Chain A
Amino acid sequence: NAGVTQTPKFQVLKTGQSMTLQCAQDMNHNSMYWYRQDPGMGLRLIYYSASEGTTDKGEVPNGYNVSRLNKREFSLRLESAAPSQTSVYFCASSTQGLNTEAFFGQGTRLTVV
């Protein structure tokens, strides 16, 4: 039972480069999320997808785009990476609706130099 799988686990980018973080879940969850975690701060929501075919901005969407490819997969794209996007990125999923916990992946540690 894999749960939520993120790739890659580590990545170093140069300023201005682009990349896509991949996320897949095998729990048949409707909702998926992308968070970033910075030192001394909690997780902040970048984008979420309440269901297949929909995406919405979270707290910190600037500089990112997302694609809900299908029910299982939700990708996060950085079109032109900036040092301020150095962070640990977590993908999560949950069943649809209120009062349901989110399950997290292991994270992607991204460094932009």
Chain B
Amino acid sequence: GESVGLHLPTLSVQEGDNSIINCAYSNSASDYFIWYKQESGKGPQFIIDIRSNMDKRQGQRVTVLLNKTVKHLSLQIAATQPGDSAVYFCAETPTGNQFYFGTGTSLTVIP
């Protein structure tokens, strides 16, 4: 099966600091990656995606970096806010039909 793992299960940051959440994937054939945010008691919500022909993609306060050489994905959140506290998942797909999710990183923002 696929292996999508996160380097750190928990992360605590001060409000206003930048956050970096990392993810490793194992399937070189994966061509599409997504970061999801899951708040307590809710379903995952899309944050940002990136295709394998890109190295970097920016959204509003978020940036995703993709390093295909080492099969590594990261999510950067600028000026982290209390509302960013959640569990963050990376997901990859080599086929477009099955997304493989990592175990998640719990981000806690300290006011």
With the chains together, A4 CA to B42 CA distance in Å? 12
With the chains together, A98 CA to B98 CA distance in Å? 10
Verify if A12 is at the interface (C-beta below 8 Å from B).
no
With the chains together, A99 CA to B92 CA distance in Å? 10
A contact residues, range: 20 to 34
Q: How many residues of B contact A (CB 8 A)?
A: 28
Residues of A within 8 A of B49 (CB): 99, 101
* One of B43, B44, B45, B96 near A98 (C-beta < 8 A): B96
With the chains together, A20 CA to B44 CA distance in Å? 22
- Contact mask for chain A residues 1-39; partner B; CB cutoff 8 A; 1 contact, 0 none: 000100000000000000000000000000101010000
* One of A45, A97, A104 near B43 (C-beta < 8 A): A104
* A45–B98 touching, CB < 8 Å: yes
Within 8 A of B (CB), among A37-92: 40-45, 48, 50, 56, 58-59, 90, 92
With the chains together, A99 CA to B96 CA distance in Å? 6
- Contact mask for chain B residues 16-40; partner A; CB cutoff 8 A; 1 contact, 0 none: 0000000000000001101010000
Verify if A102 is at the interface (C-beta below 8 Å from B).
yes
Interface residues of B (CB under 8 A from A): 1, 4, 9, 31-32, 34, 36, 41-46, 49, 51, 89, 91, 93, 95-104
Provide a sorted-by-A list of 5 A–B residue pairs whose CB atoms are within 8 angstroms. A43-B89, A48-B98, A101-B46, A102-B46, A106-B42
